[in-house]
Amino acid sequence: MRIILCGFGVVGQSFAKLLESRSEDLYARYGLKPRIVGVFDRNGSATDASGLDISRLIDAKKKYNSVKKYSETKNNASGIEMINDLEAEVLIETTQSNYKDAEPGMAHIINAMKQGMHVISVNKGPLALAFPSLMELADYNRVLFRFSGTVGGGTPILDFAKNSLRGERIVSFDGILNGTTNYILTNMADGMSFNNALSDAKQKGYVEADESLDLDGLDAAAKLVILANWIMGMKVTMPDIKRTGIRNIDSDDIKHATEKNCTVKLIASCNKELIVAPREIAADDPLCVSGTLNAISFTSEQSGTQTIIGRGAGGIETASSILRDLIDIRNESTKT
Amino acid sequence: MRIILCGFGVVGQSFAKLLESRSEDLYARYGLKPRIVGVFDRNGSATDASGLDISRLIDAKKKYNSVKKYSETKNNASGIEMINDLEAEVLIETTQSNYKDAEPGMAHIINAMKQGMHVISVNKGPLALAFPSLMELADYNRVLFRFSGTVGGGTPILDFAKNSLRGERIVSFDGILNGTTNYILTNMADGMSFNNALSDAKQKGYVEADESLDLDGLDAAAKLVILANWIMGMKVTMPDIKRTGIRNIDSDDIKHATEKNCTVKLIASCNKELIVAPREIAADDPLCVSGTLNAISFTSEQSGTQTIIGRGAGGIETASSILRDLIDIRNESTKT
């Protein structure tokens, strides 16, 4: 299975290392023999039809902040050129999310699908802005489109709702889908001011370069779009979400919540309307998790409410979700 | 798909009603057209090769405490006779669990497998005492064996660990797998004595007729056996579990835990050893759920710890898990 990897940051590198360390096991258990034939980042690219050497790739990235010096051959192919010219079965899109035009991820995904490649995206941008049409494009080109890592990182939230709850009708859900705001709100509940909690989160490296993605609920809203489409069969995009971030939460709000034995959390909910907004959650509700944890409660017709909790992000967790998608694609594509 | 139903208590009846209410949807979504061709309870049986009428069956059970008066024809077939004589594709075993000899469930399952029937069991007894050999028997007879409802009721704990975490290596897990003891311990944490908490749980109908199953950790241990075999690939049975119940927990234990911001919970754990015993759990650990809730935390190599929380029991929840198994069997058996 030949793979093109878009982006070689924390997630891309974690995934490459994971593939390497698990190679024997993947072949023995799943008949999976993946090799990365092309990688590109902002500054250049590296290709080898017989499979790139992962350690050399990581060394090059470390030394030159790009994979372009992987070999001495000049390699100036742009991402799109690589996707159009290099033979591969799967494209893995790990470049950064943005919710303005979702580029360059959007172009990578569209071109790969048109080339007949299956696509795994951990980039939420294209999904948030164009989920329904990307699904159609995948169907039209008869390729598989997977994105487990976009919601919950390594915690298989999408898979749980889609597969483990099969035979059930999910009627609504509520989730804490952004670990950064949860960390800030947890610290505020412990007495910190918003500004101090934000500085602390920044210092720990939890906040996106564009802090608006976390604080204004864009990240949570993108995940809500994905859940609504994938789990509830809705056809919605970013503008369909009513969104309020956490910038206006102050210590009074926190105090009022505490008096009722509640905590303020940024909740993404699907129950007739799609809403991202701060809400008071009872302290003994399983959804009420602290720190950077993510949690989501699905309410279904027969089985009541079921909550799944886990770390929401992290390179190795997301890499593990990509691997899960790759195994899926292998299983699905050999069926036909 | 022809079904024989063993036992017609709360779970059996809930399942029959669920099948009826979902019949159109099951056919449209899964191509599934199930009909119950035989049912038996302690006092007698009812059969109809073209499918029993669910409402009449429930009426008969209500009026005569048995399905035997479903029709006027005499029907004295024993369960085993029905299994041996009646043509069916799936046996659903819902009689009561016992951990001495697991009968009559054990005989039902063994006979059905020998007849080439797929088996769904929500009865934990046979699995707790003979998981490895029942699995072998199913393999030998090329039938499917499913038991989603045995752990977590309607909460798909087994499925989550087996499927949603595919590609992962689970290294250990800890769970609150018995809702009754969790209810008692939650009340004790709120200041009740053990005896009062037990009486309250009995009044609410939470305690098994044989209270030892709950209080001495037998129910939790049976679930631990099932998890260890199915998720971790161990070949173990009841005697392999180190088991301590909650009878010796007193208000001092509870007080000491509270001082450390912990709560005493009956934890079933798999981490080198298989243990059921009371343990102090930090109040902010996602595993620390209250009331009758069940929770389990799986720790895996790449994705850290993931917790799933839900109601552990209840007729409709368990019925929903049987339906999930039935859909699985339909999908799996049409593959070959």
- Name the residue among B284, B306, B311 with its Cβ closest to that of A304: B311
Q: What is the mean pLDDT of chain B?
A: 93
- β-pairing, A90-93 with A145-146? unpaired
Residue B30 pLDDT: 86
**Contact predicate B30/B331, CB 8 Å:** yes
For residue B307, list chain A residues with Cβ-Cβ distance below 8 A.
307-310
Q: How far apart are the first and last CA of chain B?
A: 16
Percent of chain B clearing pLDDT 70 (strictly above): 99
**Spatial CA neighbour of B168 closest among A155, A85, A248:** A155
Q: Is B2-154+315-335 in CATH node 3.30.70.960?
A: no
Distance of CA B188 to the CA centre of its chain: 26
Characterize the bridge pairing of strands B304-311 and B273-282.
Answer: unpaired
Which letter does DSSP use for residue A163 in this model? I
Looking at the DSSP assignment, which residues form a beta bridge with residue B2?
A: B35
Catalytic residue among A223, A235, A260, A272: A223
Q: Report which DSSP code applies to B86.
A: S
Q: What is the DSSP secondary-structure string of A225-281? A: HHHHHHHH-----GGGSEE--STT--HHHHHHHHHTTEEEEEEEEEESEEEEEEEEE
Tell me what pLDDT residue A153 has. Answer: 82
What's the N-to-C CA distance of chain A in angstroms?
Answer: 16
Q: What is the pTM of this model?
A: 0.90
Q: Which residue of A has its CA nearest to B14?
A: A302
CB contact under 8 A, A160 and B165: no
Query: In this structure, are strands B170-176 and A273-282 parallel, antiparallel, or unpaired?
Result: unpaired
pLDDT score, position A73: 74
Q: Residue A212 phi/psi, 5° resolution? A: -60, -35
Amino acid at B125: G
Write down the domain spans for chain B: 2-154+315-335, 157-311
Q: Is A136 annotated as a binding residue?
A: no
> Dmax over Cα atoms in chain B, in whole Å?
66
- Report DSSP letters for A170-229, one per residue: EEEEEEE--HHHHHHHHHHHTT--HHHHHHHHHHTT-S-SSTHHHHTSHHHHHHHHHHHH
Given an 8 Å threshold on Cβ–Cβ distance, is B154 in contact with A304?
yes
A124 annotated ligand binder: yes
- Is B122 marked as binding a ligand? no
* pLDDT tens digits, one per residue of B290-333: 999 999 999 998 788 999 999 887 788 899 899 989 999 998 88
- Asked if residue A104 has a cis previous peptide bond (ω within 30° of 0), the answer is yes
Q: Which CATH architecture has domain B157-311?
A: 2-Layer Sandwich (3.30)
Query: What pLDDT, on the 0 to 100 scale, is given for residue B77?
Result: 77
A182 in contact with chain B, both atoms CB, cutoff 8 A: no
Report the C-alpha gap between B281 and B287 in whole angstroms: 8
Does A7 show up as a binding residue in the annotation?
yes
Nearest CA in chain B to A288: B286
How does pLDDT run along chain A (336 residues), one tens digit per residue? 999 999 999 999 999 999 999 888 888 888 889 999 999 999 899 999 999 999 999 999 999 999 988 887 766 778 999 999 999 999 999 999 999 999 999 999 999 999 999 999 999 999 999 999 999 999 999 999 999 999 998 788 999 998 887 777 899 999 999 999 999 999 999 999 999 999 999 999 999 889 999 999 999 999 999 999 999 999 999 999 999 999 999 999 999 999 999 999 999 999 989 999 999 999 999 999 999 999 999 999 878 899 999 988 778 889 989 998 999 999 888 765
Do residue A308 and residue B304 have CB atoms under 8 angstroms apart? Answer: no
Coil, strand or helix at A44: strand
Q: Is residue B51 a contact partner of residue B23, using CB atoms and an 8 Å limit?
A: no
What share of residues in chain A are helix, strand, coil (percent, to 5)? 45, 20, 35
CATH topology identical between B2-154+315-335 and B157-311: no
Strand partners, A44: A41
Query: What pLDDT is attached to residue B316?
Result: 87
Catalytic, A223? Answer yes
Taking only the tens place, the pLDDT of each residue in B29-86 is 888 899 999 999 998 999 999 999 999 999 999 999 999 888 877 667 789 999 999 9
Spatial contact of B102 and B129, defined as CB atoms under 8 Å apart: yes
Cα torsion angle, A244, A177, A113, A110, sign: positive
CA distances from A259 to A40, A134, A280, A283 (A): 52, 46, 11, 11
Q: Please indicate whether, in this complex, the C-beta atoms of A305 and B310 are within 8 angstroms of each other.
A: yes
Q: Is A162 on the interface with B (CB under 8 A)?
A: no
Residue B290 touches chain A, beta carbons under 8 Å = yes
C-alpha to C-alpha distance for B105 and B334, rounded to whole angstroms = 27
Interface pTM, i.e. ipTM: 0.87
Query: Which pLDDT does position A304 carry in this prediction?
Result: 87
From residue A16, alpha-carbon distances to A8, A42, A52, A72, B199 in Å are: 9, 18, 10, 21, 57
**Would you say A8 is a known binding-site residue?**
yes
In a 13 Å sphere around the CA of B272, the CA atoms on its Cβ side amount to 0
Torsion from C-alpha of A36, A38, A41, A46, nearest 10 degrees: 110
How many C-alpha atoms does B46 have within 13 Å on its Cβ side? 26
Give the contacts of A50 (CB within 8 A, at least 6 positions apart): A35, A37
pLDDT at A74: 67
**d(Cα B20, Cα B32) in Å, to the nearest integer?**
12
Contact B166 A327 (CB under 8 A): yes
Among the partner-chain residues A166, A304, A316, the one whose CB lies closest to the CB of B310 is A304
Write out the two tokens for A95: 């470049």
pLDDT (mean) for B164-190: 92
Residue to test with chain A: of B23, B302, B330, most A Cβ within 10 A: B302
